[in-house]
Amino acid sequence: MIPFMAFFPSYCNVSQQTSNVVVSMSRSIPAAKPKSIAAFLADSAKAVQDKTVKTVVMGNEGCDMDSAIGSLYLAYALDQLDVYPKPVVPLINIPISDLPLRGDIVLALKTNGVSPNSLISCWPDPDDPRAVVLPLLTWPDRIGVVLVDHNKLSSVQTSLAKNVVGVVDHHKDENLYEDQTKALRVIEVVGSACSLVAQLFADRGIPVPSPTLLYAAILLDTKLFDPATKKTTPRDLSIRDFLEPMLVDTTSETWFDALHKAKSDISSLTIPQQLRRDYKNFDFKTADGTPIGVGMSTIEMLSGEIYKLYGADAWIAALKQYRSQQKRQLQLVMFTAHKQRELGVLAGNLSTLKLIQDFFTQNPVIGFVLKSMQILVSTKDAEETWAVYAQTDTTYSRKLLSPLIETSISSATKVTLPPVAAPVSRRRCPFAVLSDNRVIVAIGLTVALGTIVMKLFRQ
Ligand SMILES: [Mn+2]
């Protein structure tokens, strides 16, 4: 019985591990020729079919390259070690039918001889009978869940809390499941969670199958190790030195360009597809305990480009509908393209909008500049506003912004909440509701509310 971290020296200085925790480890040296990723996925599918799965590795619900590939490779490594009961199976945290929205992941898999349809999802999908539907994982409770690229379960997956047995992540440590994750708890601020996964291969001498695939996430997350993004750490660079010599028939630059192009080619998606392509739910609370549901999409276009592509009215109508479906008080959209960032806020009412006013005004370093604001609905029963801010410091990604937004909301009080699901206008024009009835009253209200909002933002 040897402490796991003894085999994981690079992690010793960052782990919360206590020295008396021991995990049985195999001393056998892995075979020189690695099992292919395709073969591993075929074995995983059989384990699901035979209901013999003992441990799953799951990325976050945004399911970007880092989450999808990180879960795949962490499961692969853990399936060769004796940290957790086996088989260890990777799960992607989106319905399988949403995978085509992520052109970069599809390209990376296909380039490495892996069919995107061979991935296994934890979401029910009428087109995907192989999905490991999450409620099934809670029984029997012996199935362990290892989280990669997040360290807090999504609000819709909290039923799995007791099953969490490990974490490998690069987000802010939420200090959850600590007693349950002593066998493997690696939370370190690095550019890509896949750098931490690759470190496990390096430390344990596990041959890396299809290194181009594992490297893809690290290249995209660090933007080819661009220092300007302030994301790359010495760990990412040492993993570059580990993986780069394994590349065959490509270079870091060529592979990054191809992936980036595939990731950015999103003009054929519908608006709901854009919104859910990289989407996360957050559940925050104000100081007086009022729950505030926040949804945050990342879209690789600027707001002006979105309006041009779909029309502003269609965009806002679809966004309103999305907020209603997701039951969020605040629906945020991070627009990112051409080395610029904007943050859009769809708020259920003025009180909710005011909740994050401090976030915008008290973060002068990030530098939010209000670009536009519209009152979408203003009736006795419902209010809705849409505002877009330009972000001066573009190094602040969703990973860095979301804890700041949480702090801002948790310090706010005295909030009057609207019904969560605001009525969705059947008309496409966001201003059409004003022509339903009481036109004059509505216009008067709009002007008054607009004045209040502008005052709020001048405070
Ligand atoms: Mn990540």
Q: Is the pLDDT of residue 432 over 90?
A: no
300 alpha carbon – ligand 1 mean position (Å)? 16
4-264: CATH, from 3.40.50.11740, 2.70.170.10, 3.30.450.40, 3.90.1640.10:
3.90.1640.10
Q: What one-letter code names the amino acid at 358?
A: D
* CA 451–ligand 1 middle distance (angstroms): 40
Looking up tokens 């260890």 gives 88
The ranges of the chain annotated as CATH 3.10.310.20 are 271-458
**85: Cα within 13 Å, side-chain hemisphere:** 12
CA-to-CA separations, 419 to 38, 377, 422, 435, in angstroms, rounded: 47, 14, 6, 23
How far apart CA 281 and CA 283 sit, in angstroms, is 7
End-to-end CA distance of the chain: 61
Give me ligand 1 centre to Cα 47, in Å.
Answer: 27
CA of 341 to the centre of ligand 1 (A): 18
> pTM score, two decimals?
0.77
Going from the Cα of 426 to the center of ligand 1, the distance in angstroms, rounded, reads 37
> What's the gap in Å between 102 CA and the centre of ligand 1?
15
Q: Which of 395, 314, 414 is nearest to 355 (CA)?
A: 414
| Interior/surface letters 89-125, b for 16+ CB within 10 angstroms, e for the rest | bbbbbbbbebbebbbbbbbbbebbebebebbbbbbee
Question: What's the 214 CA to ligand 1 centre distance in angstroms?
Answer: 13
Interval between CA 224 and ligand 1 midpoint (Å)? 15
Q: Are strands 164-169 and 340-347 parallel, antiparallel or unpaired?
A: unpaired
Instruction: Quote the ligand 1 centre to 414 CA distance (angstroms).
Output: 35
User: What CATH code would you report for 271-458?
Assistant: 3.10.310.20
What residue spans in the chain does CATH classification 3.90.1640.10 cover?
A: 4-264
62 alpha carbon to ligand 1 midpoint, in Å? Answer: 9
User: How many other CB atoms are found less than 10 A from the CB of residue 416?
Assistant: 9
Angle at 148 between CA 104 and CA 138, to 5 degrees: 115
Paired tokens of 52: 């013999």
Cα(440) to ligand 1 centroid in Å equals: 50
What is the whole-number distance in angstroms between the Cα of residue 67 and the centre of ligand 1?
A: 6
Neighbours of ion ligand 1 (CB under 5 A): 66, 149, 193
Q: Mean pLDDT across the stretch 227-232?
A: 89
CA of 434 to the centre of ligand 1 (A): 42
Amino acid at the residue 145? V
Tokens 């502003």, residue located: 312
Give the lowest-confidence range in 152-166, 273-287, 445-459.
445-459
Three-state DSSP class for residue 171 = coil
**Residue 141's pLDDT band (boundaries 50, 70, 90)?**
low
The whole-number pLDDT of residue 6 equals 35
Q: Grade residue 136 by pLDDT with cuts at 50, 70 and 90.
A: low
User: What's the rounded Cα separation, in Å, for the pair 368 and 384?
Assistant: 21
CA of 193 to the centre of ligand 1 (A): 5
User: Residue 409's closest CA among 281, 285, 297, 282?
Assistant: 285
Please give the Cα distance from 409 to 287 (Å, whole number): 8
User: 65: closest CA among 191, 158, 165, 155?
Assistant: 191
For ligand 1, the distance from its centroid to the CA atom of residue 162, given in whole angstroms, is 23
Distance from residue 71's CA to the centre of ligand 1 (Å): 11
Give pLDDT, residue 354: 80
Residues 103-131 have a mean pLDDT of 89
Q: Do 271 and 310 meet the contact criterion of CB atoms below 8 Å apart?
A: yes
Band of pLDDT at residue 458, cut at 50, 70 and 90: low
- More confidently predicted of 69 and 440: 69
Q: For residue 412, what pLDDT is reported?
A: 78
